[in-house]
Structure 1
Amino acid sequence: MATTPHHPAKRIIMLVLGIILILLAPVVGALPGPGGIFVFAGGLILVLRASRWARLRWARLKRRWPRLGHLADRVMRRRSVQRRMARLRASDAETLGTN
């Protein structure tokens, strides 16, 4: 689970920087290349790490649209996805071993 920074100033700086990057993403997206996607993802990561409110909203979004949430988690290389994939592989190996 992503933890929030301990110092309030660090958390606020991360939150503000993340919001700026998210707002800057459409501007960068107008330039040639996929830069806007990476800027948005970086901003989203910063906001999710700094804000409990944003993490709760993110969890709700993932429950409503699980395919999109799973794809975004894989792109952000979140530990929860890595654990989930390892459990899925282990359960698949067990079912194949019993047949």
Structure 2
Amino acid sequence: MNRFGFLDLLVRSEPFRVFQIVLGCLLLPVAGIVGVISPAPIGIVIFGFGVALVFRNSRWARRRYLFYTRHSPRVRRAVDFGLRRGRGRGQGRKAAAAAASLTKRKSDPTSPTMPQV
């Protein structure tokens, strides 16, 4: 087994995935503490890394996030503004298709596939 195959196997393993979720959850409160202490907006970057780790490795967290943004228009507008997504003509369908693809990927190693409702 070559080095890249070993690293790929390690990154896709269940214990490493759980480690990444725990690390992401720990980065969220650390971001708040660093944000209060530091004059620079470093806390926002740390919070982004934490959320990215959690969303990348937890299908449950992605589903909750998508449910919350779909049912809360103010949050959706704030997220779209923060991610600099335009809501122009046709963007709604593209964004909905992209959001739906987050939970329907067959190659996603994080959890078993969800039943379609």
Q: TM-score, normalised by structure 2?
A: 0.55
How many Å apart are 1:56 and its aligned residue? 1.1
Aligned to 1:9: 15
Q: CA deviation at 1:74?
A: 6.7
Structure with more relative contact order (C-alpha pairs < 8 Å, separation 6 or more) = 1
Q: Would you say the 8 A contact 1:45–1:76 is kept in 2?
A: no
Aligned pairs, number: 80
CA distance in 2, matches of 1:17, 1:29: 18
Instruction: Tell me the residue number matched to 2:24.
Output: 18
The alignment's TM-score, normalised by the length of structure 1, stands at 0.63
Which segments of 5 or more consecutive residues in structure 1 lack a partner in the other structure? 89-99
Report the counterpart of residue 46 of structure 1 in structure 2. Answer: 53
Gaps of 5+ in 2: 1-10, 92-117
Q: Percent identity?
A: 36
Looking at secondary structure, tell me which structure has more helix per residue: 1
1:24 Cα shift? 0.4
CA RMSD across the alignment = 2.7
1:72-92 residue CA offsets vs partner (Å, 9 max, x unmatched): 367568xxx69x87953xxxx
For 2:31, give the aligned amino acid. Answer: A
Corresponding residue number in structure 2 for 1:91: none
Q: Secondary structure at the residue paired with 2:12? A: coil
State which of 44, 51, 63 in structure 2 corresponds to 1:37: 44
Letter of the 2:41 partner, please give it.
P
**How far apart are the structure 1 equivalents of 2:35 and 2:64?**
25
